[in-house]
Structure formats: C-alpha cells, structure tokens
A and B are shown apart, each in its own frame.
Chain A
C-alpha cells in the first residue's frame, strides 16, 4: 500500500481537512445508514461549507418496502454541509490511476456481464441481508464496488470462486492500516472472504452514460 497522507483531503478519524478545490479521481466515504460512497472528479472543501460536488455518483443501500436495495444516483451541485457525516475523502494518486487505467484494457475475457441497472450482489445485514453470490458463481461481472469494513474496493470486474468468495480483478483498494492511517493501492487481483464483505454493488451501465 502506498502512503498517501499527502492526498487525504478529509479524514474524520485523524482530524485532517484540506480546504480548496481538488480535481482528479476522488472517493468520499459517508458515515450514514446507507453506507454510501461518492465518486467524483471534482470536489471543493471548506470548513464552513463542507464538501461540494459539481458532479458525482453516489452509491449505497437503502430500505425500500421493507427490503434493502442498492442504489446509484447522479449528483449535480451537491453539498454535504455537516462534515461529521463524512468519514473520509481521498484523491487517488495519478500513478495508481495509471495502473488502474492500463488494467482496463488488459482483459482477454469477452464474456463479461454488464448490468444495465445498478443492483446489490451481496449485503451483510442481519435483517435485510442479500446474497446472490451463488447465482452468479463463475460469471464475470463488470463494475463491482465493494465495502469491506472501512475499506472500499473499486474493481473492473468480479468473479465468484469455487468457495463462494468474490475475486476482484484490476482493483483500487482504499482502507485504513492498523494505525488508522488511510492507504490506497492498486491490485491486479484480490481475493476476499465473503465474511468480511459489507456489501458488493454492481454498477449499471445506464448510470455511466454521459
């Protein structure tokens, strides 16, 4: 994992806040019931006004008709004034993004499944849990996003292996180390035990249309 303290824009745990306008690949993890994550390419941060996103994509789980359901919403001129509802906001270093970008073209798997609409593949919840891992066993799913305790995995594709565990390919991993420092890394392949996974959302390509 790379030390990215210099690119942590906001961290509630370590009480870091960098004011200003930031452009790049930015991930914001919210501290809310929806366990939501915001992806954006531009964010403005100030102590007084909180975070402002010109454009962004918000994903997470919500309860609809007594059932949990994954969502992804486009954000336009969206503000979060209460900074205590945000756990962290980090900008991925450009060298790691370069690795991630190169990995996007390296796959030789033509039979990758793209979902049209965002849906929840897995949610670890006592009451409203979801588990479709068996259903897609052996398939290659495009654009998975996973929350693992405090960490986030954004991958190009995911496959469920023989043990029923997800294997993420070409992934960006954001997480905290034992000292609660935020770290980010790129991994071509990551095996994760489904027991530690909070959720896996498969992003629908409809959300990615310009």
Chain B
C-alpha cells in the first residue's frame, strides 16, 4: 500500500519539475508524433490503408472539423505505412514553386540513400553497367544519356523534353562522372546553383526553374520500390484563394485595375496550382490524400478539377469523415498519452504502473469531454490547463481537481 502511494507521489514530483504531459494541441507536418489513434478511429486508418493498397492514382478526401485530428492522422498513417513514402505537404509551403517545393519535401522525407539507389538503377537500365569481357565497366556517359532519353521521352510531353534532358544529364553525371559527382548530387537534392556550377555540369537550370523538379518527381515516384502517398493538408486554402474576398473589406489596391474584372491574380495562381496538382496526380502510382473542413468544399474542388482536367478523369474516392471523440476515447487518449509521456522521459518502469486516471479521475475526464463536445483539440487545451495548475499551483491536488469536477 505504501509503495503504491509512493508511485503516485513520484509521478506528482515528476510533474512538479515543470513538464506538462500535454503540450501540443496543434499537430504539424514537421514535428513527428508517435502517439497512435484512439480506438474509435482505428477503423478509419484501416479503411485508408485498404484504399492505398487496392487503388492507385486517386484523390482521397478526408473531412473533419478544425482540431479534429486530421494532421495527427497523417502521423498515424506514416507510422503504419512501412512500405510507402508518406509525405506531408502544406499548401502554404508549396504554393509557390509547387513542383520544386514538393520535390524538396519528397527528398526530405525519403532521404538521400533511396535517391541514390533509384538513380543507380535508372542508370543501370540505361546501360551504365555494360561490361566488357564480363567484368570491366565501359560506360560511355553520352551513350547512357542517349539510351536514357530514348527510353523516357515517350513518357513526357513535348514541353517537358528540355527538362528531361537536364535530368538525364544530372543523373548520368552523378553516377558515371566521379569528378562531378558531388556537384551533381547537390543538383539532384535541389540545391540552388549559379551559372558557373550549372555549366560545369552541362545543365541549363537548377531544379527550381522549369519542369525539371516535376520530371525528377515522376522518375523517383515511378521507379521507387515503395509506393508514394502525398498528404496535402488543409486543401480548402485553394478555395479561399479562388473565391472573392469580403466585399465590405477595404481594398487599398484593387487587382482588377491591372488584371481586369474577370480573374484576380489569386484566382489565376490557384488555377495554376490546381493544374499542377492534376499533373502530379497523373504520376503513375501516386496516391493523394487531401484534408478538408467542410463537405461542401469537396463539391467545389471536384467541380474545379473537372473544369481544368478536361479529358483526363480524376478519380475521387468517397470521402472519409472524422468525427469528434466518443466518450470512451478520452479515457483511451488520456491513458496512452500519460504512458507515452513517461516512456519519453525515460521512466519506462513508471510507465508500466497502473495509476488509473491519476492525477485526474474519471469524473474530471467526463466533464472535460462534455465541455469540449469531444473535440480533441479542445480536450487537449483543457488538459494542458489542468496540468499546468497541478504543476505550478501550491494548492493540494484535491483542491485543484474540485474546480474541474463539475
């Protein structure tokens, strides 16, 4: 009995150091999250995985309110999909230089080794491993480039051929010219280069300009042994860019003075972005997941896609809806978060102890649930507040908890 109580006291002491088990109430694509999904959402992830395994080249909308856990779902997916490159894309980041920034995110996610592996195999297909007398490599860079172009040109449109030549040059130079290998790798990783560096590599542009980043993305995705899932968060931003602003808002500069009444610059750039996404979606084997807040946004996005895609058919999968937590979820979430917190700070023994809902209790968790209407973000906000009080208040635990019990 005494030992059991001491464990609780130990937990309180740890908290009093000033570490709150509930820190983040906004999930982002940059900071990794290991915490799994609550029980009621496990079926969602199963459905998504089934779709990813069975279908290709689709757009899967995931619809859920603000703070419902759409971004957290990305991390749960990434942690589950071992045989896929799962990449988070924020429209804010990739809005300008879409292909280049998406490529950068892609490389960031897969790392340099898979990049080397894929381009090594591409070069192999282009005859780079041709051997004389059964052993000696006699790769002729120009010949390899020529074969590479012949093999790939039919897969790209006429206006992408120049970019394709640059990409083949970059890949062949990286693989076969040891004197330029380091610079070529920099180019392949998307480094910005000056004219002198580019001319040494016999390249026209770096990946930022033109369609080279798209060509690279297509080559890497189509030749990767892993499937690729792009998770584009907060896709509604594209609608807010298209739709006119509040007419009552004061305009210091009216774009129509310069661009006419029909289309404002935001609309033009958002259309371009949609066209690029349509282009991206045509990459063989790519799976796109988009998140939205409202159901009606999906119809608008579908219509926009339909207008712009012309003869191409964009395959939209039936949307998946994420609902608020059910009441049992808050208990599940609380317990797994506390366990995860203790494990993360190295207290694995303590993490295995059964504290029940200590330092909170079942009643408080129920109250939090009803106050937040089951919205995960709101739940976390309240939990942060309570734990901050536990950490920083000089009142005893029961006094603090009393306030939240009703």
Contact = CB atoms under 8 A, between A and B. Distances in A.
Interface of A: 24-27, 39-42, 55-57, 92, 101-102, 104-105, 107-110, 112, 143, 154, 172, 203, 208-210
A26 B134 contact: yes
Given A105-B175, A110-B179, 17 more contacts: A24-B134, A25-B131, A39-B133, A39-B135, A40-B133, A56-B133, A101-B129, A101-B131, A101-B137, A102-B120, A105-B120, A105-B176, A110-B182, A112-B178, A208-B136, A208-B138, A209-B138
8 pairs of A and B residues whose beta carbons are closest in the complex: A41-B134, A25-B134, A39-B133, A57-B133, A110-B178, A110-B179, A208-B136, A101-B129
B178 A107 contact: yes
Contacts of B129: 101, 104
Interface string B104-134: 0000000000000000100110001101111
Interface string B184-225: 000000000000000000000000000000000000000000
A140 B175 CA distance: 19
B135 A154 contact: yes
A210 B133 contact: no
Contacts of B377: none
B181 interface: yes
8 contacts: A27-B135, A57-B136, A101-B131, A105-B123, A108-B178, A110-B179, A110-B181, A210-B138
Nearest to A26: B134
A41 B181 contact: no
Nearest to A101: B129
A41 B133 CA distance: 5
Interface string B133-149: 11111100000000000
B44 to A, nearest CB: 41
Interface of B: 120, 123-124, 128-129, 131-138, 175-176, 178-182
Given A105-B120, A109-B178, A110-B181, A41 B131 contact: yes
Contacts of B128: 105
A108 B176 CA distance: 11
Given A102-B120, A209-B138, A210-B138, A108 B132 contact: no
Nearest to B130: A210
A102 B182 CA distance: 18
A57 B136 CA distance: 10
Nearest to A42: B134
Given A105-B175, A109-B178, A110-B181, A25 B138 contact: no
Contacts of A143: 136
B131 to A, nearest CB: 7
Nearest to A98: B129
Nearest to A172: B135
A121 to B, nearest CB: 17
Nearest to B140: A210
Contacts of B124: 101
A28 to B, nearest CB: 11
Contact of A208 (B132, B134, B181, B182): B132
Given A107-B178, A108-B182, A109-B178, A55 B136 contact: no
A4 to B, nearest CB: 15
Contacts of A57: 132-133, 136
Contacts of B134: 24-26, 39-42, 92
A154 B135 CA distance: 9
A63 to B, nearest CB: 25
A39 B179 contact: no
A100 B341 CA distance: 47
B11 to A, nearest CB: 51
A40 B138 CA distance: 14
Which of B123, B132, B138 is packed against the most chain A CB atoms within 10 Å?
A: B132
Nearest to A156: B137
B312 to A, nearest CB: 38
Given A102-B120, A105-B120, A105-B175, A25 B135 contact: yes
Contacts of B120: 102, 105
Contacts of B138: 208-210
A15 B14 CA distance: 76
B182 A210 contact: no
